[in-house]
Amino acid sequence: MCGIAGIVPREPTDPGRLDALVRRMTGAIVHRGPDDEGFHVTERVAIGMRRLSIIDVAGSRQPIATADGRRVLVFNGEIYNFRDLRRRFEAEGVRFRTAGDTEVVLHAFTRHGNKGLDLLEGMFAFALWNEDEGTLTLARDWLGQKSIYYAETPLGWVFASEVKALLASGLVTPEIDLQTLSHYMSLRYLPHDGTLFAGISKLPPAHRITVSADRRERERLWAPAYSPKHAGSEEQVIDGLDDLLKTVVREHLESEVPLGAFLSGGIDSSLVTAYAAQALTEPLRTFSIGVPDDDQSELPWARQVAEQYHTKHFEQIVESDLARLAPRMVAAMDEPVDPFAAGVYNVSRITAEHVTVALGGDGGDELFAGYDRYIGQQLAEWYSHLPAPLRRGVLRPAFKLVPESMGYKSFATKLRWLDSMAERSGVQRYAESAAFLRFPHAMKEALFTADAWRGLAANASETLLEPYFHDGAAKDFVDRMIYADLSTRLAEHQLPIVDRMSMAFSLEARNPFLDRRVAEYAMRIPAAWHMKKRRIKYVTRKLGERYLSRELLYRKKQGFGFPLALWFRDSLRPLIEAVAQESRLAEIGLFRREEMKRLVAEHVSGKVDHNYRLWLLFNLEIWYRRFFDGTETEALEEWVDAKRGVGTVREATAV
């Protein structure tokens, strides 16, 4: 695991200047690789890396070059089938100088091009310099576990594992990309190649891009496909999934440094723990966090799995000061953060005290229909068939009389959602549903100033989800929803959070469910099976019956949550009121201050639960002050304390 960065100048440039710039860039991401560093610098290119040593610790230093020195690679990630590929290449006459996976990636691409990349099963973001052609190739893994960003500057092309490294170069001036910001506020992810910084792009999953001093070519390497479907019986298909996961999890255990597993107590992480514990000859280390509220904590379920598989278990109750933690998480993300990030941040901090690699269960919900919203879409379809006069004239007024409890997925919010979604159908319903709790198009029009909205009004964010329903990759509506979530919310929201929050503590997170072989197998499962008997995650529950208790498998899904809605009416009320009153985004003419105040007042009064919107506005404020005003993280923590009336400065990572 590493952090990588580099520059391809438009014209031959003093190597000393390029060396200083690339070292400044890698210095900004030292957390991704505290063990080692390496550079390759000429007048035509500068590439560098920071290494977190995991496989072939003594060797496999980077950059690594071919024997003739004409091709040079820096690589971030893990290739889980590298031993099989190494044997294959050795049979072709390749002589290896190291024992790790980086050199396998080098030979795969230099010998076989895209066909060589297609052989790689793992997570990766790499940069390969071709001295003969004067080109740099960047590539990102199949499902987006690792990221790579790039920008065109007056000096030339620059790239890095994180946006902060590009900004550290001094070659990129931070400027808000309003269109991407608008989409993010509605959809909770950064679509396509967009970032919140104008001029900085990200490479989409399963793509490669080749750049030189004067050109750029991009190509897609792989695409999800949901047919043909498995032809066997349910039992046979689950047998096949069982065998595949045994193989994949075993490969994910490859490490020369201490390894463990995140264990939330949910189905996916519990299954990964079961497979890993059975594959190891020594006890697996597992890590869990919980909250003081017994109704929200999943620690008892995690403990049950740990006891069943005799793991060396570590658990901790956390009382996260979520608002004060936000500046540090935003600094790690280079973006606003979802409250979900706090759980990953905290468990990564605890885990990194004991191991360098941790397996997790990310991807299981997106591949196997694990979200309530899939059932919700079916319920909305049923409700939409009631006569419109009954829905609009009788039930809608009745729904409005239900008081808002400010609880997680409150009954009042569910009724409002159902009433709104019944007015739409198909992909439009799904797209509107994605933005419902955040900023739908009409709410953004009220929030943005007239000048800012002028360039955004014609581009409704919800339409960005439509291609995933119409490009032919999936036919059944359930598969289309899964495909859309896999390609958007997972790849461009959840996985970057997992990567940044874990790497903030120099911890490598591996997710066996996101192995391409598992993903392709899941895509071929008949769509009707995913919610058979009106139960989400039907297939993984049936598989889980072989390894986990029925009580764990069939309990209500919890997740790691915080009572933000209540906090914004109580302890965080002064803070969110200060955000609206002192917003820098209002000062620069982006948001209407009065609309921000209205949202706060409406929430505080209990009329409407705006907690998702208020959290986003708070995070955008932190993000702007950090990356545009240049306010340091510690100063932002003090600002948060001051605005909510907290007198004692505490550790930012206090739990």
**What is the C-alpha end-to-end distance of the chain, expressed in Å?**
27
Those residues whose C-beta lies under 8 Å from the C-beta of residue 102, and which sit 6 or more positions away, are 60, 62, 64, 73, 75
Buried b (16+ CB within 10 A) or exposed e, 140-158: bbbbbbbbbbbbbbebbbb
Distance (Å, whole) CA 134 – CA 519: 36
Q: For 338-354, what is each residue's pLDDT tens digit? A: 998 999 999 999 999 99
Average pLDDT of the chain is 94
Percent of the chain exceeding pLDDT 70 equals 97
What is the band of 653 on the pLDDT scale with cuts at 50, 70, 90?
Answer: very low
Split into its structural domains, the chain has a count of 4
Last residue in a domain, options 477, 498, 513: 477
Q: Look at residue 648 and tell me if it is in a domain.
A: no
Distance (Å, whole) CA 458 – CA 441: 10
530 contacts 536 by C-beta, under 8 angstroms: yes
pLDDT at 42 over 70: yes
Amino acid at 307: E
Q: For 326-336, what is each residue's pLDDT tens digit? A: 999 999 999 99
pLDDT of residue 405: 83
- Residue 40's SS3 state is strand
pLDDT of residue 561: 65
pLDDT of residue 319: 75
Residues facing 216 on adjacent strands: 211
Q: Look at residue 382 and tell me if it is in a domain.
A: yes
pLDDT of residue 390: 95
Residue 324 tokens, joined: 């004060």
What is the band of 295 on the pLDDT scale with cuts at 50, 70, 90?
Answer: low
Q: Which of 53-62, 518-527, 594-603 has the lowest mean pLDDT?
A: 53-62
- Residue 316's SS3 state is strand
pLDDT of residue 647: 59
611-627 and 593-604 helices, crossing angle to 10°: 140
pLDDT at 320 over 80: no
If asked whether residues 313 and 461 sit together in one domain, one would say no
Mean pLDDT of 120-138: 97
If asked whether residues 516 and 407 sit together in one domain, one would say no
Last residue in a domain, options 477, 501, 528: 477
What is the band of 650 on the pLDDT scale with cuts at 50, 70, 90?
Answer: very low
Q: For 472-517, what is each residue's pLDDT tens digit? A: 999 999 999 999 999 999 999 999 999 999 999 999 999 999 999 9
Residue 273 tokens, joined: 């723990």
pLDDT at 292 over 80: no
Mean pLDDT of 533-562: 88
Q: For 242-256, what is each residue's pLDDT tens digit? A: 999 999 999 999 998
Q: What CATH number is associated with residue 72?
A: 3.60.20.10
Mean pLDDT of 603-630: 96
Mean pLDDT of 363-391: 93
Q: In a 10 Å sphere around its CB, with 0-12 CB exposed, 13-18 middle and 19+ buried, how is residue 568 labelled?
A: buried
- Residue 509's SS3 state is strand
Distance (Å, whole) CA 624 – CA 331: 11
Q: Look at residue 225 and tell me if it is in a domain.
A: no
377 contacts 430 by C-beta, under 8 angstroms: yes
Q: Look at residue 530 and tell me if it is in a domain.
A: yes
pLDDT of residue 213: 82
Q: For 141-182, what is each residue's pLDDT tens digit? A: 999 999 999 999 999 999 999 999 999 999 999 999 999 999
Those residues whose C-beta lies under 8 Å from the C-beta of residue 278, and which sit 6 or more positions away, are 309
If asked whether residues 385 and 349 sit together in one domain, one would say no
Which helix (H) or strand (E) element contains residue 262? strand 259-262
Residue 388 tokens, joined: 């419109």
The CA distances from residue 170 to 25, 41, 49, 622, in Å, are 9, 18, 18, 21
What is the band of 57 on the pLDDT scale with cuts at 50, 70, 90?
Answer: confident
Nearest residue to 309 via CA among 279, 288, 340, 330: 279
Q: What is the 3-state secondary structure (H, E, C) of 48-104?
A: EEEECCCCCCCCCCCCEECCCCCEEEEEEEEECCHHHHHHHHHHCCCCCCCCCCHHH
Mean pLDDT of 73-98: 95
What is the band of 58 on the pLDDT scale with cuts at 50, 70, 90?
Answer: confident
If asked whether residues 376 and 364 sit together in one domain, one would say no
Distance (Å, whole) CA 491 – CA 191: 10
Mean pLDDT of 586-595: 98
pLDDT at 223 over 60: yes
pLDDT at 649 over 50: no
Those residues whose C-beta lies under 8 Å from the C-beta of residue 101, and which sit 6 or more positions away, are 55, 56, 60, 75, 78, 79, 82, 122
469 contacts 643 by C-beta, under 8 angstroms: no
If asked whether residues 412 and 351 sit together in one domain, one would say no
DSSP secondary structure string for all residues of 191-240: -TT--SBTTEEEPPTTEEEEE-SS-EEEEE-------SPP-S-HHHHHHH
Nearest residue to 609 via CA among 343, 323, 414: 414
Distance (Å, whole) CA 595 – CA 64: 54
Measured from the Cβ of residue 301, the count of other Cβ atoms closer than 10 Å reads: 23
pLDDT at 654 over 60: no
Last residue in a domain, options 518, 553, 588: 553
565 contacts 405 by C-beta, under 8 angstroms: no
Q: What CATH number is associated with residue 353?
A: 3.40.50.620
If asked whether residues 404 and 470 sit together in one domain, one would say yes
Q: Look at residue 571 and tell me if it is in a domain.
A: yes
Provide the residue range defining the domain that includes 440: 372-477
Q: Give one word for 562, left, alpha or beta, with left for phi > 0 and alpha for psi -120 to 50.
A: beta
Measured from the Cβ of residue 237, the count of other Cβ atoms closer than 10 Å reads: 21
State CA 135 to chain mean position distance.
29
∠628-633-634 over CA atoms, to 5°? 135
If asked whether residues 356 and 387 sit together in one domain, one would say no
Q: For 441-455, what is each residue's pLDDT tens digit? A: 999 999 999 999 999
If asked whether residues 515 and 568 sit together in one domain, one would say no
Distance (Å, whole) CA 238 – CA 205: 28
pLDDT of residue 539: 97
If asked whether residues 344 and 297 sit together in one domain, one would say yes
> How many Å is the maximal CA-CA distance in the chain?
78
Q: Look at residue 616 and tell me if it is in a domain.
A: yes
If asked whether residues 318 and 287 sit together in one domain, one would say yes
Nearest residue to 45 via CA among 110, 102, 129, 125: 129
Nearest residue to 200 via CA among 250, 164, 254: 164
Which helix (H) or strand (E) element contains residue 4? strand 2-9
Q: Look at residue 227 and tell me if it is in a domain.
A: no
If asked whether residues 469 and 578 sit together in one domain, one would say no
Distance (Å, whole) CA 19 – CA 319: 44
Q: Look at residue 402 and tell me if it is in a domain.
A: yes
Nearest residue to 144 via CA among 129, 116, 124: 124
Q: Which residue is associated with the tokens 């860039």?
A: 25
Q: What does the radius of gyration of the chain's CA atoms come to, in whole angstroms?
A: 25
pLDDT of residue 558: 62
If asked whether residues 275 and 401 sit together in one domain, one would say no
Amino acid at 7: I
141 contacts 194 by C-beta, under 8 angstroms: no
82 contacts 102 by C-beta, under 8 angstroms: no
